[in-house]
Amino acid sequence: MSRRAAALDTQQLLLFEAPAPLPAQAPVVARPTAPVGTPASIAPPTEPVSIASVLAPAVFRHPLADREIRLHDHVVAYALKRARRRSIGFIVGTDGLSVNAPKWVGLHDIEAALHEKSRWILKKLQEQRERAQRMQSARVEWRDGTSIPFLGETVIVVLDARATGAVLNAAADALPGVPRLTLHVGLPHTATPEQIRDTVQSWLQRQARRVFEERCAHFAQQLKVRVTKLSLSSAQTRWGSASADGSIRLNWRLIHFAMPSIDYVVAHELAHLRHMDHSPRFWDVVRSVLPDYEQARGSLKDGLVPLLD
């Protein structure tokens, strides 16, 4: 991790690295290592993983695939890139499997490395596919009556030309199981999905800044640190980041989660102003203001952010 900045990831892009290569033409054996800044907990497991327990025979195809291999009856089409490097890198991302290999390494050695780590690769490919399916199911249909999560609650979007901007209303007598929050958006029923999206998203970002400023002030006082600048982020892979100069960036989409999750990310980033690492001392700082931070962190990992674009 950089000494200048620390980051909290929203998702895990997994890197599979081989050790330094042997002399030319010698076999290359892949060995998993986590990328810089990646929590050690997501490093590829060393214990065997049963393919039968991972997935049924399937096809995984990278959109830029130029090579194909069969791993335990599963077809994996991967994108191969030659580069000036000393190791073979395996990246399992949202698009599928990418392989970065030195120019001098033969295809036979690359495929041998793929077979050696096939169980882990297949497991992670399936996890990425399941995540993509969950995200697709979370896609918002921008129309009158659509719902979005806000601070852990469901908000119903109501097109109301009489409203100015966007106004949040809370029903005091809502029935059990019925959302109590409605967001009245100052648009006619003829508004396009893009107009509705932009108006609601702007409102969410304003709420995010308001809440983040309040929580940063709260935890900065407890941790005796100084936040020099707070910025909103739209990053796809990070919930937040902190720099040694006191600059904090927080993903505005955190506003979808309940306050314990937001507090965890805020406390996490402010704790980095004391320790720019994830050492035991760092976690002691987080625990000093959030004794049950593990529970909030778990909720954040399990939560699904709606696709607003």
Q: Per residue in 18-28, pLDDT tens?
A: 444 444 333 33
Bigger pLDDT: 168 vs 138: 168
pLDDT tens digits, residue range 230-245?
Answer: 999 988 778 999 999 9
Query: Average pLDDT in the 150-167 region?
Result: 94
> Residues of the chain with pLDDT > 70: what percent?
78
> What residues contact residue 214 under an 8 Å CB cut-off, 6+ apart?
none
- For the chain, the average pLDDT equals 82
At residue 32, the pLDDT reads 35
Of 201, 199, 207, the closest CA to residue 165 belongs to 199
| Class of CATH domain 147-302 | alpha beta
Q: How confident is the model at residue 136 (pLDDT cuts 50, 70, 90)?
A: low
> What residues contact residue 238 under an 8 Å CB cut-off, 6+ apart?
7, 8, 9, 10, 249, 251
Domain spans of the chain, in order of start? 5-137, 147-302
Q: 53 pLDDT exceeds 50?
A: no
Q: Taking the model in full, what pTM does it have? A: 0.63
Query: Average pLDDT in the 85-103 region?
Result: 90
Residue 221 and residue 234: Cα distance in Å, rounded?
26
